[in-house]
Amino acid sequence: MPFLFFVEFFLSQELDIVGFWKGIFANGAAGGFAADLLISSAIFWIYLGVNREPGMWRYVALKLTLGLSCALPYYLYVKASEQETISVIT
């Protein structure tokens, strides 16, 4: 879903990165959401790196293309599937 908003913006504004950054901090409400997302994304990436998660680049790629709302649930799904597999084996 977030990707649709980005596509709409860049289709109407072309590749205006400065305008994009101004837009995400256009007011307090937008800035709050943007700061929350940027902090959450940074923590997720740090967590992946510190824990040396296998295939971490697929989660980074998902975050950069579709967003944290896709990358984080996918990561949690993969981890839950791994736990389930371990439980079945033991």
pLDDT per position as a tens digit, 34-62: 999 999 999 999 999 999 988 899 999 99
| pLDDT computed for residue 51 by the predictor | 92
Report the C-alpha gap between 56 and 80 in whole angstroms: 16
By three-state DSSP, how is residue 15 classified? coil
Alpha helices in 25-67 (DSSP H): 28-50, 56-65
pLDDT in tens, 2-38: 777 778 887 888 788 888 888 888 999 999 999 999 9
SS3 80: helix
